[in-house]
């Protein structure tokens, strides 16, 4: 520990660090920004098992490892952050609630054991409303503050059944009501929280998710060439989609409209496809008969993925549920031309540096046809605007500074 002046921050809700999803990347970048800053000490909960669990062997360097009786690493230090792993039972979707609650209980015990004063508990998303009353009492008992990141509109996601959606909305209400501070990564989410829960007088602030502007360092050219060959596409000869393969990301609309377009380019979809949803889409759209539509699976090599983004002709973004989406920020920082679903979250990020479409019949196909005819100078103009937008409002350094201000105040 760095002394009595250090602000201890316990981050609850990320499955791992750095290599799984939006929150995981966020945690990696946050601890990296403050690695040598003695004013803050991060304690990060990670899953020890199950989907998205922490595999510390993928990290560049760790220290201070603590192992259990079976020899499994249960704690370690990474970039000055204390990381602790929570083992979860195999109980299906409810495991996420168990994990957050168990991680918070561990963090509270750690504070009591180590005499930590005035800790901050930063909970990512609104899963544990069922237990938040008792949890907040425990947080206050150790002199702590409870911060919340409400994420997006999880209760609107089509993957959840109606009872689960109802729980998400109720849980959100409970967790917002008791939070000392609510950090929203989207202006629209902040406006929603203020309006929806105005009777609670929520203490909100806006801090965006971060992104990098493309540094133009190419991946191994042979890897990219092999990827092009494997999927029968050419450099700048494809439109690109990268994202979770779920209905609310509007894959049906994007594929249907691309099939209507007259483009000779391909539509490349980088995603971990769900076979049931894939079959349902093909039954509706018969996209397997259109050789331009290419599901290419996932790409975990980040340098290769950046090159795939950079050398796409354009990026399609259909997300409409949630806050600031990491894949959109990555696209804006890398891909020259971005075609976004016209909803507030996406407008907020893209402003005048992107093109927009709606879910109406013919909207996206018309945008694609027009985009197909753009000259290099027009595309470069959008590329410059997009990168300026990311570097100006979404740089990780700026995001790190804003978080430090909130944690230390």
Contacts of 54 (CB under 8 A, 6+ apart): 15, 16, 17, 46, 47, 48, 83, 85
pLDDT of amino acid 237 = 98
More confident residue, 85 or 211: 85
Is the predicted pLDDT of residue 326 greater than 90, yes or no? no
User: How do strand 338-341 and strand 314-317 relate by DSSP bridges?
Assistant: parallel
The per-residue pLDDT for range 337-381, each reduced to its tens digit, is: 999 999 988 999 999 999 999 999 999 999 999 999 999 999 999
Is the predicted pLDDT of residue 161 greater than 90, yes or no? no
The per-residue pLDDT for range 282-322, each reduced to its tens digit, is: 999 999 999 999 999 988 888 899 999 999 999 999 998 76
- For residue 395, give the DSSP letter: B
> In b/e form, how buried is each residue of 244-257, taking b as 16+ CB within 10 angstroms?
bbbebbbbbbbbbb
Is the predicted pLDDT of residue 21 greater than 70, yes or no? no
Is the predicted pLDDT of residue 20 greater than 60, yes or no? no
Is the predicted pLDDT of residue 2 greater than 50, yes or no? no
| Nearest residue to 250 via CA among 309, 186, 317 | 317
d(CA 361, CA 129): 40
pLDDT of amino acid 82 = 98
- Tokens (6 digits) for 243: 């994202």
pLDDT of amino acid 354 = 97
pLDDT bucket at 54, cuts 50 / 70 / 90 = very high
pLDDT of amino acid 321 = 76
The per-residue pLDDT for range 186-210, each reduced to its tens digit, is: 898 999 999 999 999 999 999 998 8
pLDDT of amino acid 93 = 80
pLDDT of amino acid 351 = 95
- Tokens (6 digits) for 258: 């691309």
Write out the DSSP string of 334-381. H-S-EEEE-SHHHHHHHGGGSEEE-SSTTHHHHHHHHHHT--HHHHHH
pLDDT of amino acid 3 = 47
pLDDT bucket at 246, cuts 50 / 70 / 90 = confident
pLDDT bucket at 1, cuts 50 / 70 / 90 = very low
pLDDT bucket at 333, cuts 50 / 70 / 90 = very high
Is the predicted pLDDT of residue 218 greater than 70, yes or no? no
pLDDT bucket at 58, cuts 50 / 70 / 90 = confident
pLDDT of amino acid 19 = 67
d(CA 4, CA 8): 10
> Facing residues of 211 across strands?
395
Is the pTM higher than 0.85?
no
pLDDT of amino acid 343 = 92
User: How do strand 355-357 and strand 81-86 relate by DSSP bridges?
Assistant: unpaired
Q: Can you say whether the dihedral through the CA atoms of 59, 121, 398, 401 is positive or negative?
A: negative
- Tokens (6 digits) for 408: 């230390």
pLDDT bucket at 137, cuts 50 / 70 / 90 = very high
Q: Residue 18: enclosing H or E segment and its boundaries?
A: none
> Facing residues of 270 across strands?
242, 297
pLDDT bucket at 214, cuts 50 / 70 / 90 = confident
> In b/e form, how buried is each residue of 343-366, taking b as 16+ CB within 10 angstroms?
bebbebbbeebbbbbebeeebbbe
pLDDT bucket at 102, cuts 50 / 70 / 90 = very high
Do 320 and 357 form a contact (C-beta atoms < 8 A)? Answer: no
Percent of the chain at pLDDT above 70?
Answer: 95
Establish how many alpha carbons lie within 13 A of residue 22's alpha carbon, considering only the half-sphere containing its beta carbon. Answer: 20
User: How do strand 314-317 and strand 81-86 relate by DSSP bridges?
Assistant: unpaired
pLDDT of amino acid 241 = 97
């Amino acid at each position: 520990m760095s002394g009595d002046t250090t602000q201890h921050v316990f981050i609850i809700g990320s499955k791992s660090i750095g290599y799984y999803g939006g929150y995981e990347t966020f945690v990696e970048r946050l601890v990296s920004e403050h690695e040598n800053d003695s004013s803050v000490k991060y304690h990060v909960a990670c899953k020890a098992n199950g989907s998205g669990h922490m595999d510390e062997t993928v990290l560049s360097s760790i220290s201070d490892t603590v192992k259990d009786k079976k020899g499994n690493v249960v704690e370690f230090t990474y970039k000055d952050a204390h990381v602790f792993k929570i083992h979860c039972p195999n109980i299906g979707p409810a495991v996420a609630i168990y994990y957050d609650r168990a991680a918070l209980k561990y963090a509270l015990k750690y504070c009591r054991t180590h005499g930590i004063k005035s800790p901050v508990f930063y909970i990512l998303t609104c899963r544990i409303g069922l237990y938040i009353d008792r949890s907040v009492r425990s947080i206050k008992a150790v002199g702590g503050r409870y911060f919340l990141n409400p994420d997006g509109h999880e209760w609107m996601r089509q993957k959840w059944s109606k009872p689960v959606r109802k729980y998400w909305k109720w849980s959100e209400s409970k967790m917002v009501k008791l939070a000392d501070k609510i950090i929203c990564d989207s202006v629209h989410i902040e406006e929603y929280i203020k309006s929806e829960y105005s009777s609670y007088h929520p203490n909100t602030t806006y801090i965006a998710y971060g992104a990098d502007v493309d540094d133009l360092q190419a991946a191994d050219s042979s890897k990219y060439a092999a990827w092009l060959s494997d999927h029968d596409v050419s450099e700048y000869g494809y439109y690109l989609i990268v994202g979770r393969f779920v209905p609310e990301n509007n894959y049906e609309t994007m594929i249907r409209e691309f099939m209507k377009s007259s483009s000779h380019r391909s539509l490349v979809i980088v995603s971990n496809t769900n076979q049931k949803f894939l079959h349902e889409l093909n039954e509706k759209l018969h996209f397997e008969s259109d050789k331009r539509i290419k599901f290419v699976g996932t790409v975990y090599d980040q340098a290769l993925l950046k090159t795939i983004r950079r050398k796409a002709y354009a990026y399609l973004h259909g997300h409409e549920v949630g806050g600031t989406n990491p894949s959109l920020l990555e696209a804006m920082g890398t891909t020259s031309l971005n075609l976004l679903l016209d909803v507030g979250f996406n407008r907020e990020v893209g402003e005048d540096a992107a093109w927009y479409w709606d879910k109406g019949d013919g909207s996206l196909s018309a945008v694609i046809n027009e985009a197909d005819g753009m000259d290099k100078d027009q595309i470069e103009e959008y590329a410059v605007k997009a990168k300026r937008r990311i570097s100006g409002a979404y740089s990780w350094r700026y995001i790190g500074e804003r978080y430090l201000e909130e944690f230390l105040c």
